[in-house]
Structure 1
Amino acid sequence: SHSDFTTHWDTVAREQWHSINNEYGILSNQPAKLTEKEEYGADGSNEVPRQCSVNIGQYEGIPLYDNPADGYAQDLAGPHLSKTWSAAFSFAKCHLEETAPYDNFAPQLFDAEQFPRFVRFWTRGYDVYTPSRNIVYHDYGPHPEGIDRLDWASKGYPNPKVQRQNALRRIKTLLGIEGGDKSPKAMANLGLYGLGKRRTMKQLEEFVGIDLKGKKGNEGDK
């Protein structure tokens, strides 16, 4: 495994989540490096990774996050409201996964999956918070020995490149940006995997500080 946990991580995560006092709160951040746990012990240091910037223009107009995170939050008294979400660590009530589940029609996205899912959460009224202490740690490599990869063609699976291109078009449709299908029918067909109705995309862009159509990212937390 490429990840490890702090001691009694489940108790820590529950305590952190309850301190938010928000039924629709999500604890999420890019995990700290595994070497940090080894250096500081199970509780880690007094700083936690916090992704601040949202980058646009590097990948067909779809916002991306840095990996590892581009910043840190130090000496937090409690979880802190965030403008990003990480698939590497996400802790919330189970109704989150029922309300905005992973989109099985958008495979092979990896780094491009995180912002679109944050959009689906946020427009449904969910808020993401950076935890005030490290809960999960990750081994970011490098791994000279390599990682075994499935030979998709020989196993009879669909071509991953084709799947990825179709998924990217679907995400562009969700975000309403160039390259997507802007017809009302296409948006309606997203159904459960589309936008929520509690907040608008305009409100999200203002909150995060980005311009999707103008392909302008933010400058991180100020």
Structure 2
Amino acid sequence: MELPRIFVSIASYRDSEGPATVTDLFARAAHPERVFAGVLWQVIPGDDDDCIGGEAPASHVRSLTVHASESLGACWARHRILTELRRDEDYVLQIDSHMRFEPGWDEAFIAMLQRCPSPRPVLSSYPVPYQLPDRLGERRIPVQIAKQFSDQGGLLLHSRALPYECRPQAPLPSAFVGAGCIFAPAAAFDEVPYDPLLYFQGEEITLAVRLWTHGWDLFTPDDVLLYHDYSNERGRPRHWSDNRDWATLSARAHARLRCLLARELPADPEAMRDIARYGLGTRRTLEEYERFADLDFRRRTIGPRAADGRFGSPLDDGEVRRARAFSRIFNERTWGCVETRSGPGSTLAATAAMRKSLLKLLQRLNVRSLLDAGCGDLNWFGPALDTLDLYLGIDVSPEVIDYVLGLHRGRRGVFFNVADVVSDALPSADAVLCRHVLTHLPNAQVQAALENIRRSGARYLIATSHRGAANAEVEPGGWRAQDLCAPPFSLPPPAFVLQDGGGTELRVWDLTAG
């Protein structure tokens, strides 16, 4: 069986470590026959003859050589490598030209990618340092963190390190990338082509946001596979030292960055060139990235999660669509009710009789803890909170949870969290309440939610149902009448039925029966 192939992108600017990097790349691979390097040598002939070469099979190294004066910077070089030298390899490893490798790095990277809890993972971080010629640094797990915003609006990244003996068992979720160590399926670079018009600062944060909004999940490697020379003991020339136009290139790149992330229209039209091709994705929004990463690009603020490099598990596309749909309903007051954003069916007056009946039933069933899965703004149930020992309110919309936390913070036995009844592990409670929640979900997601509720260990399910409804399909956030006792759900007859107005029923199932 043919091994999956890895394309390694190396942009080398007048770097005498470039040849040694190529040599070590192949020497340390478990299967060098599957490794193909693409190198752009940017040199001054006669001055930089020691900056080209390396010991590797000639058929496995594809290279371009340009005069250093023609170079337009690292992003320009990486773009050329990925578009002109890459073929149909399965994976891409992007590195710098001053690196060392652990034995078996190729097998380890592929295995690590498979440990990521996502179907679309990208591994990236700042590698551990080494000192010339081959003194490898202490093995630690670098975790990228947000340090500060520059005056030009770029986010400067740094890293903290986990002791190697405390390394995680799987790659950690991240919001950032380090351009000198990125390992991903080749499809990531097909969908998110490298932007040649960026310069230096801004390369990493724009790439991270673009990957994330295209639906790729970022992870910190859980082991040490690469080492990087961060020193300049060799006096290695930098592009901005050689190129008289570097300030123009940098200013234009910063304007491009601010357009992309802070929504500022640049004065220089050149900064907008091909911006659609190198723009954000549509699977997730910039605002969703800012919420996930704990950043605000317009205000240039860094939250504690970004500063610490601690991020939640990535959401799949279904979770993103559900969160987006219910946040939109909440933020836009879709149902047009002044009293409550949950709609006219959740006003205090409309729910008075049902609420009285429900509280009597909860007392009769000895329900002392309640998981309200899809709590909304809690308008209709708020007066009943004190009748329970424990109330757990969850909602897929972060805005909803922020809202109810502000209203009920400090109440004894009342807790809220962002969670998805379809896909997240649910806390244990005597009963699960899903009032006017499942009616907004596609049938397959309703079935997944019902299975999830059963797994929670709750004794009772209390959910909205409509007798005789056809259970038509609906998009997340839409609505249709729903009969949970009819196919495809086919729940057994409920133990109790409460009238909830307008032909709607609140049915109660004993999950311990049968």
**TM > 0.5 fold call:** yes
User: What letter matches 1:201 in structure 2?
Assistant: L
Confirm or deny: 8 A CA contact 1:27 1:130 kept in the other structure: yes
Distance in 1 between the 2:272 and 2:206 partners?
A: 14
Q: 1:54 to 1:25 in 2, by over 3 A?
A: farther
Distance in 2 between the 1:111 and 1:61 partners?
A: 10
Which structure features the higher share of strand residues?
2
Distance in 2 between the 1:89 and 1:210 partners?
A: 23
Secondary structure of 1:103's counterpart equals coil
Matching residue of 2:212: 122
Residue 184 of structure 2 is aligned to residue 79 of structure 1: no
Distance in 1 between the 2:225 and 2:194 partners?
A: 23
After superposing on structure 2, the runs of 4+ consecutive aligned residues of structure 1 that deviate more than 6 Å are none
The C-alpha deviation readout for 1:170-194, integer Å capped at 9, x for no partner, is 111111345x439xxx979511201
Distance in 2 between the 1:176 and 1:75 partners?
A: 35
Offset at residue 11 of structure 1 (A): 0.7
Matching residue of 2:236: 147
Matching residue of 1:192: 277
1:4-153 to 2 correspondences below 5 Å: 4-34=100-130, 38=135, 45=139, 47-56=140-149, 58-66=150-158, 69-72=159-162, 74-106=166-198, 109-143=199-233, 145-149=234-238, 151-152=242-243
Secondary structure of 2:247's counterpart equals helix
Q: 1:149 to 1:32 in 2, by over 3 A?
A: closer
Offset at residue 101 of structure 1 (A): 1.4
Structure ranking higher on relative contact order (CA contacts 8 Å, 6+ apart): 1
User: What letter matches 2:210 in structure 1?
Assistant: R
Q: 1:202 to 1:188 in 2, by over 3 A?
A: farther
Distance in 2 between the 1:188 and 1:61 partners?
A: 19
Distance in 2 between the 1:65 and 1:4 partners?
A: 22
Secondary structure of 2:188's counterpart equals helix
Confirm or deny: 8 A CA contact 1:210 1:217 kept in the other structure: yes
Confirm or deny: 8 A CA contact 2:200 2:250 kept in the other structure: no
The C-alpha deviation readout for 1:103-122, integer Å capped at 9, x for no partner, is 1122xx22321001101000
Confirm or deny: 8 A CA contact 2:122 2:183 kept in the other structure: yes
User: What letter matches 2:298 in structure 1?
Assistant: K
Matching residue of 1:156: none
Matching residue of 2:252: 166
The share of aligned pairs that are identical, in percent, is 27
User: Could you tell me the TM-score, scaled by structure 2's length?
Assistant: 0.37
Matching residue of 2:469: none
Offset at residue 79 of structure 1 (A): 0.8
Distance in 2 between the 1:164 and 1:205 partners?
A: 24
Q: 1:190 to 1:39 in 2, by over 3 A?
A: closer
Confirm or deny: 8 A CA contact 1:84 1:118 kept in the other structure: yes
Matching residue of 2:289: 204
Q: Alignment RMSD, CA only?
A: 2.5
Confirm or deny: 8 A CA contact 1:61 1:177 kept in the other structure: no
The C-alpha deviation readout for 1:49-81, integer Å capped at 9, x for no partner, is 11122522x231221212xx2343632111111
Distance in 1 between the 2:153 and 2:249 partners?
A: 18
User: Could you tell me the TM-score, scaled by structure 1's length?
Assistant: 0.81
Offset at residue 18 of structure 1 (A): 1.2
The C-alpha deviation readout for 1:100-146, integer Å capped at 9, x for no partner, is 1111122xx22321001101000001111111101110111141x41
Secondary structure of 1:78's counterpart equals coil
Secondary structure of 1:52's counterpart equals strand
Distance in 2 between the 1:141 and 1:54 partners?
A: 20
Name which one, 1 or 2, has greater alpha-carbon Rg: 2
Distance in 2 between the 1:169 and 1:149 partners?
A: 22
Distance in 2 between the 1:12 and 1:64 partners?
A: 29
Secondary structure of 1:51's counterpart equals strand
The C-alpha deviation readout for 1:144-185, integer Å capped at 9, x for no partner, is x411356446xxxxx22212211211111111345x439xxx
Confirm or deny: 8 A CA contact 1:63 1:217 kept in the other structure: no
Q: 1:188 to 1:149 in 2, by over 3 A?
A: closer
User: What letter matches 2:118 in structure 1?
Assistant: N
Confirm or deny: 8 A CA contact 1:99 1:192 kept in the other structure: no
Distance in 2 between the 1:167 and 1:50 partners?
A: 26
Q: Which runs of 5+ in 1 are unaligned?
A: 154-158
Distance in 2 between the 1:207 and 1:21 partners?
A: 16
Offset at residue 25 of structure 1 (A): 0.3
